[in-house]
């Protein structure tokens, strides 16, 4: 892996050196944060514990990783200035483990259903009584059952009778029209 420092900026107020870098890693996987910190420490002639990598990113299909890092004068200054999650990523501090909360008081055991039904028996009977009465009343209003309904069977007429009916219907339709013309 080859490491190239692209820019280097002194920041005397925060007592650090801010660096952007480009690491080329052909035929190797993307380097870890620890590996990059070690290479940057060697390149900048510092110890690994005062190098903090702010971010690193590699592009799909390329063998290079770019990023930004900060090199402090002392570890104490790094701990005072840097954000906690960045320090945890760089393994300068241990992550805070949430303490287990004291156990909550247990809820009383639920009462079995049989006991619930026995205690409020009187109010439950009042609430349930109107429901069965309402259902039988609703059914007769809907109408007779499907079995009672039977399609009406039409009497079949002979073909000659059908023809005669059609002729009569046509005549009936024509007569009112003819009368209208005569009235005018």
- What's the pTM? 0.52
Q: Decide the pairing of beta strands 2-11 and 16-24.
A: antiparallel
What is the C-alpha to C-alpha distance for residues 168 and 174, in angstroms, rounded to an integer? 10
What is the number of domains present in the chain?
1
> Which residues pair with residue 172 across a beta bridge?
none
CATH at residue 47: 3.30.70.330
Give a yes or no: residue 82 inside a domain.
Answer: yes
Q: Does 12 score more than 70 pLDDT?
A: yes
- pLDDT for 116 equals 52
CA dihedral 74, 80, 86, 88 (to 10 degrees): 80
- pLDDT for 36 equals 95
Provide the 3-class DSSP secondary structure of residue 110: coil
Give a yes or no: residue 143 inside a domain.
Answer: no
| 67-122 per-position pLDDT tens digit | 999 999 999 999 999 999 999 999 999 988 887 767 777 777 777 776 555 555 55
Q: Which two tokens stand for residue 59?
A: 């592009």
> Nearest to residue 85, comparing CAs of 109, 47, 54?
54
Domain that holds residue 12: 2-89
Task: Provide long-range contacts, Cβ within 8 A and 24+ apart, for 82-88.
Answer: 82/52, 86/52, 86/54, 87/52
Give a yes or no: residue 61 inside a domain.
Answer: yes
- pLDDT for 89 equals 93
């Amino acid at each position: 892996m080859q490491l190239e420092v692209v820019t280097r900026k002194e920041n005397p107020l925060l007592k650090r050196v801010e660096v952007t870098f480009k690491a080329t890693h052909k035929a190797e996987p993307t380097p870890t944060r620890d590996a990059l910190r070690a290479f940057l420490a060697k390149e900048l002639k510092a110890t690994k514990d005062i190098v903090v990598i702010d971010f690193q990113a590699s592009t799909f299909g390329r063998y290079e990783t770019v990023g930004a890092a900060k090199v402090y004068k002392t570890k104490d200054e790094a701990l005072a200035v840097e954000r906690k999650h960045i320090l945890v990523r760089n393994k300068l501090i241990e992550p805070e483990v949430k303490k287990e909360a004291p156990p909550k008081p247990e809820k009383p055991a639920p009462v079995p259903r049989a006991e619930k039904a026995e205690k409020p028996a009187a109010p439950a009977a009042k609430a349930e009584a109107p429901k069965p009465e309402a259902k039988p009343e609703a059914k007769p209003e809907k109408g007779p059952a499907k079995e009672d309904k039977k399609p009406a069977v039409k009497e079949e007429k002979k073909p000659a009778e059908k023809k005669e009916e059609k002729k009569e219907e046509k005549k009936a339709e024509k007569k009112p029209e003819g009368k209208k013309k005569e009235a005018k």
